[in-house]
Structure formats: structure tokens, C-alpha cells
């Protein structure tokens, strides 16, 4: 008879913010959208830094962000607290430093670090400009960039980004999955406690969600590869990162001379746009291109009216005025009544394009009322990536495999789950539990890591806290940036470029229908370019 399962309660009680120094890290947020607001809230609630400035082109978003996060409702913004464009900040900061250098009195203090939360295809331009300005620690939302060449350019720029003392600035990427209590515990069980011994294989699934996929990847910002990037990058780059974090990265980042990472030997991928295309359109929909004029709108599960207005999902009718409604109507909170808010949403859904609309105009904006079978989307809604590792006898590391599956048609919305198979046991982990089965004892142990906050299971909070704490250690406690990068951020710049390169490599494997030799591909497509960039 199998021993009774044991339940280990690892409930997370959010820790208090780290102690504030006399001069806490001063932070600028570039981009006051949902990600910028999420990081700013995490700074306020969980870090020892202070948000002091925002750069955002949308006037409503900029003012609301400032009132909620910086200067409050009854106080006007001070000098250097608000910018309509990130370039305005670069110009202001260049001038501000010149004033300090000239000995001018009463110059406002600058910022120590920047959160970059603009659209994906803007990351390279913003981060490279900040790196050239120098003197700032940088956190960039994922993905790093939308092309491999841009990632390499950013890597080179960040390597030359120096702060006080001539050290390379701290850098963090928005791979929030590394920072959730759930995944921190999972990694500890695997790599430090080795509860299932050597890992032989991992199968990891990201269920995007049937309606969520249509919001972001059929109707929204990330629907077209030529204006955004492949969905494997925009949706799942941090899933690939987590797999490499579990299977390549050092178990303990505080050990500076850890063995080299155990890198994959092969990469392959299959996937396509399987469902959200014209050939799948129900016959009863006829020639309708917009949900509000469709004869079967009331019976279609993808009805934009149902999703954004109705009461049963995330619409206005459910009382929701945050994401995703705020993506459609950024100033939705300004509407006094639900009826007025509903009218604003319906007006947005009614917008449409036709055969005479230039493609450049179609690509330039989102069309949230568009029929999901008539949209201009082209990114994969189903994809599998497989990575394999050869045995490494020098460092006593065995062969292993990892399989990642991104799937759109799911009830779960981004509630990932993972099966890990080892020589001494196996682990099943989802968003709530980590179940460890020990082959030697027959014991089953269930861990409940808990959720520190709703943003990626606490990952948003964890990443923010660690990045700001790293900046604080460098600014106020004499730490080197290298130490803060390894011990507090827990992710090196090399790891960032590697996980992104893996995504681009997998995309080549998918399009060309082949298995790629990772070391050869890395040497030819990445390492040679990094060397020339230096």
C-alpha cells in the first residue's frame, strides 16, 4: 500500500519591503500601459525604491499614472517628473547633467534606474539610447527585442552601459516566471534539494486561453509577425527561459566560479496557425467581417460583444474596467456610468476595415470588433518546441530533453503546468501545487507555494523587488554590479541573450522543418556577431 501523501504548506506571506536607505533608488517608468502600471504598483508596495518620473505619449495614461503613482491628486508634477516622449527624457537628462557639471545650484536629482515598458518593437531603440546615455540601471519588459539582430545590438549596448565607478549597469528582463514563489520553490526542489535526482525530461505547457488568444494574437497588438514577432517570442519567450533556467543555469548564483552551463545540443519545432483563419469561418456568418453586424453573433463564442461587453467573461457587464477593457478604451475609468462605458466599448468594437483599406493602415492599429476568422493575423496558435541535451561526462551531467507546448484553445488562461521526470521520482507542477513522487520511498509530497500577488503568481512583484533591491545594493551598500546581478537579479545578460536566441532558433527550425545543431547555430548566428559587436 502506498504511504499516505504528505501535505507541505508553503504558503507565502508577502514580505515587507526591504529597508529604505536615506537616498532610495529613484525610478523612471517609460510606458504607462498595463505592464508599466504593474511594475509601478509593485515598486510602491514591495520595494525600497520610489517612482519619480513617467514617460508616456498618451496624455490620459500619463496624467493618471502620475496622479496614482507619483505626485498625487492635489499636487502638480515637479520638474523632471513627466515626459510626453522617452526622447524628451533623454534630452532633459543630458541637459540636467550638464547643469550639475557646470555647478548650477538646486538642480533636481536624476533617476537611478528605468523600467522600459513600451511596445516590443520599440525596445531596441529605447534601451540602446539609455545605454548610450549611461549611468542608469535598466529593466526591459520581455521580449528583449523582436529580431535576433536587435537583441545582439542591445546586448552589445548593455555591455558598454556603465554606471558610477565604471561598472556595467544592472540589467533585468521581464522574465517574471523566474520570480514567482512557485517557480523559486520548484527550482530549489530540483537543483538544490534534488528531490528527484538527475532530470531526464521536462514537458511544459502554456495554455493561452481560447478568448485570451483572440484578444492579443488575433485582434490585438501581437497578431502579425511583420509588425510584432512570432507568438513563440511575444507570448512564450519566458517559458523557454524558465526551461533553460531549470536545465542550464547554475543552481546557486552566489557561486561565481560555477561550472559552465549545460547547453542543449539540438532544437526543433513544429507549429502553425491552425484555427483562426478564413477557412474555419462558420457558414452562417456569411460575409460579415465585424461581430456587431454578424448574423450569428449571439451564438458565436468569439463574439467581441460577448467578450468585452457581456457579463460572463471579462466585459463591462461583469463590472470589469481594467484589462482587457482598458486596452480598448484607455480612459474607461473616466466614464461615469456603466451605460456610458458600454457605449464607449461598443463604439470601439464597431470600427472596421475593408478591402480598400491600405494594409499599412490595417497593421497600424488594433481591431477588437473584427471577426476572428476574417482578421489579418498570421502568428501560430499552436506550437511545440523540443530541445535535447547530450551527456556531459566532464561535469557529471546526463542527457535530457525538454518539450514546450503553447496552445490557444484552452479553458485555462496562462495557468501553466509542467511534468518533470527524474531518475528518483517525478514532479507535477501547476499554478497551485508542486507534487513530488519519490520512487525510492513511495512517498508523495504536495507543496502549496502560495501566490504572493496576482501578477504571474507573484512574479511581477518578485522581479520588481529584486531589480530595485539590486540597484539599492549598488547605490547605497557598496556592492559591485556583478554581485548584485548574480545574487539578487539572479539572471545574467548572457542568459537573456541565450533564451531569446533559442526562440529565434526554434522558429527557424519550425519554418524550415529541420532539427538544428544548437552549438553550431549559436557559433554562426550569435557568437560571431557578438564578437564583431564588441
How far apart, in Å, do the first and last CA atoms of the chain sit?
Answer: 62
Of 263, 145, 156, whose CA–CA distance to 531 is shortest? 156
Task: List residues bridging with 448 in a β-sheet.
Answer: 9
> What's the pLDDT at 2?
39
Cα gap 412→527, rounded to integer Å:
38
Task: List residues bridging with 517 in a β-sheet.
Answer: 266
> What's the pLDDT at 455?
57
Q: Which residues of 120-130 are buried (b: 16+ CB within 10 A; e: fewer)?
A: bebbbbbbbeb
Whether 273 and 522 have beta carbons less than 8 Å apart is answered as: no
DSSP state of 162: B
> What's the pLDDT at 148?
97
Which value, in Å, is the radius of gyration of the alpha carbons in the chain? 24
Cα gap 145→119, rounded to integer Å:
10
For residue 124, give the C-alpha cell: 531596441
Measured CA angle at 376 (ends 372, 378), to 5 deg: 95
Which regions of 63-112 does DSSP assign to beta strands (E)? 82-83
> What's the pLDDT at 10?
52
**Domain 198-275+379-422+493-533 sits in which CATH superfamily?**
Dihydrodipicolinate Reductase; domain 2 (3.30.360.10)
Q: What is the pLDDT along the chain (534 residues), one digit of tens a residue?
A: 334 455 555 545 567 888 999 999 999 999 999 899 999 999 999 999 999 999 999 999 999 999 999 999 889 999 999 999 999 999 999 999 999 999 999 999 999 999 999 999 999 999 999 999 999 999 999 999 999 999 999 999 999 999 988 999 999 999 999 999 999 999 999 999 999 999 999 999 999 999 999 999 999 999 999 999 999 999 999 999 999 999 998 888 888 788 899 999 999 999 999 999 999 999 999 999 999 999 999 999 999 999 999 999 999 999 999 999 999 999 998 998 889 999 999 999 999 998 899 999 999 999 999 999 999 999 999 999 999 999 999 999 999 999 999 999 999 999 999 999 999 999 999 988 999 999 999 999 999 987 665 555 678 999 999 999 999 999 999 999 999 999 999 999 999 999 999 999 999 999 999 999 999 999 999 999 887 766
Of 518, 510, 517, 508, whose CA–CA distance to 148 is shortest? 508
Cα gap 139→253, rounded to integer Å:
19
Whether the link from the prior residue into 324 is cis, omega within 30° of 0, is yes
Of 528, 493, 524, 501, whose CA–CA distance to 267 is shortest? 501
Around 492, how many Cα atoms within 13 Å sit in the side-chain half-sphere?
16
Whether 191 and 262 have beta carbons less than 8 Å apart is answered as: no
**Domain 26-175+464-474 sits in which CATH superfamily?**
NAD(P)-binding Rossmann-like Domain (3.40.50.720)
How many angstroms separate the most distant Cα atoms in the chain? 80
Q: Report the DSSP pairing between strands 113-116 and 171-173.
A: unpaired
Cα gap 229→359, rounded to integer Å:
17
Domain ranges for the chain: 26-175+464-474, 198-275+379-422+493-533, 278-364
Residue 409 CB: number of other CB atoms within 10 A? 14
Of 234, 227, 217, whose CA–CA distance to 368 is shortest? 217
> What's the pLDDT at 254?
83
Distance of CA 55 to the CA centre of its chain: 20
φ/ψ of 266, rounded to 5, equals -135, 155
Amino acid at each position: 500500500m502506498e504511504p499516505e501523501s504528505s501535505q507541505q504548506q508553503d504558503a507565502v506571506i508577502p514580505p515587507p519591503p526591504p529597508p529604505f536607505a536615506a537616498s532610495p533608488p529613484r525610478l523612471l517608468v517609460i510606458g504607462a500601459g498595463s505592464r508599466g502600471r504593474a511594475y509601478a504598483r509593485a515598486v510602491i508596495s514591495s520595494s525600497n525604491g520610489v517612482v519619480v518620473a513617467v514617460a508616456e505619449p498618451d496624455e490620459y495614461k500619463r496624467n493618471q499614472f502620475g496622479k496614482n503613482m507619483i505626485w498625487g491628486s492635489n499636487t502638480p508634477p515637479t520638474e523632471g517628473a513627466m515626459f510626453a516622449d522617452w526622447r524628451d527624457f533623454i534630452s532633459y537628462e543630458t541637459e540636467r547633467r550638464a547643469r550639475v557639471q557646470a555647478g548650477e545650484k538646486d538642480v533636481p536629482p536624476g533617476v537611478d534606474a528605468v523600467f522600459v515598458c513600451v511596445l516590443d518593437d520599440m525596445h531596441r531603440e529605447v534601451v540602446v539610447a539609455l545605454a548610450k546615455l549611461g549611468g542608469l540601471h535598466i529593466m526591459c519588459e520581455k521580449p528583449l527585442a523582436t529580431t535576433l539582430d536587435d537583441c545582439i545590438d542591445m546586448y552589445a549596448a548593455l555591455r558598454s552601459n556603465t554606471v558610477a565607478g565604471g561598472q556595467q549597469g544592472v540589467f533585468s528582463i521581464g522574465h517574471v516566471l523566474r520570480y514567482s514563489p512557485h517557480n523559486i520553490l520548484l527550482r530549489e526542489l530540483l537543483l538544490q534539494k534534488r528531490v528527484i535526482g538527475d532530470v531526464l525530461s521536462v514537458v511544459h505547457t502554456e495554455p493561452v486561453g481560447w478568448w485570451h488568444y483572440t484578444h492579443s494574437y488575433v485582434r490585438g497588438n501581437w497578431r502579425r509577425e511583420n509588425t510584432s514577432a512570432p507568438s513563440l517570442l511575444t507570448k512564450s519567450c519566458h517559458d523557454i527561459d524558465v526551461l533553460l533556467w531549470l536545465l542550464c543555469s547554475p543552481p546557486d548564483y552566489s557561486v561565481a566560479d560555477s561550472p559552465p552551463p549545460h547547453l542543449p545540443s539540438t532544437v526543433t519545432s513544429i507549429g502553425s496557425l491552425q484555427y483562426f483563419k478564413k477557412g474555419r469561418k462558420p457558414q452562417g456568418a456569411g460575409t460579415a467581417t465585424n461581430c456587431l453586424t454578424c448574423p450569428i453573433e449571439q451564438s458565436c463564442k468569439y463574439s467581441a460583444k460577448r467578450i468585452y461587453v457581456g457579463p460572463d467573461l471579462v466585459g463591462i457587464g461583469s463590472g470589469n474596467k481594467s484589462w482587457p477593457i482598458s486596452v480598448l478604451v484607455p480612459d474607461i475609468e473616466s466614464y461615469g456610468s456603466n451605460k456610458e462605458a458600454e457605449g464607449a466599448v461598443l463604439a470601439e468594437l464597431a470600427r472596421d476595415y475593408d478591402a480598400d483599406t491600405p494594409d499599412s493602415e490595417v497593421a497600424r492599429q488594433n481591431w477588437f470588433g473584427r471577426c476572428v476568422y476574417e482578421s489579418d493575423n498570421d502568428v501560430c496558435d499552436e506550437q511545440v518546441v523540443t530541445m535535447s541535451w547530450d551527456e556531459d561526462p566532464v561535469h557529471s551531467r546526463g542527457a535530457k530533453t525538454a518539450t514546450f507546448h503553447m496552445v490557444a484553445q484552452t479553458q485555462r488562461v496562462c495557468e501553466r503546468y509542467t511534468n518533470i521526470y527524474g531518475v528518483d521520482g517525478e514532479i507535477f507542477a501547476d499554478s497551485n501545487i508542486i507534487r513530488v513522487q519519490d520512487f525510492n520511498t513511495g512517498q508523495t509530497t504536495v507543496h502549496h507555494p502560495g501566490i504572493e500577488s496576482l501578477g504571474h503568481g507573484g512574479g511581477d512583484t518578485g522581479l520588481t523587488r529584486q531589480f530595485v533591491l539590486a540597484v539599492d545594493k549598488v547605490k547605497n551598500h557598496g556592492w559591485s554590479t556583478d554581485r548584485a546581478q548574480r545574487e539578487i537579479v539572479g539572471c545574467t545578460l548572457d542568459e537573456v541573450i541565450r533564451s531569446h536566441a533559442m526562440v529565434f532558433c526554434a522558429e527557424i527550425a519550425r519554418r524550415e522543418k529541420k532539427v538544428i545543431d544548437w552549438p553550431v547555430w549559436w557559433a554562426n548566428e550569435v557568437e560571431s556577431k557578438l564578437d564583431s559587436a564588441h
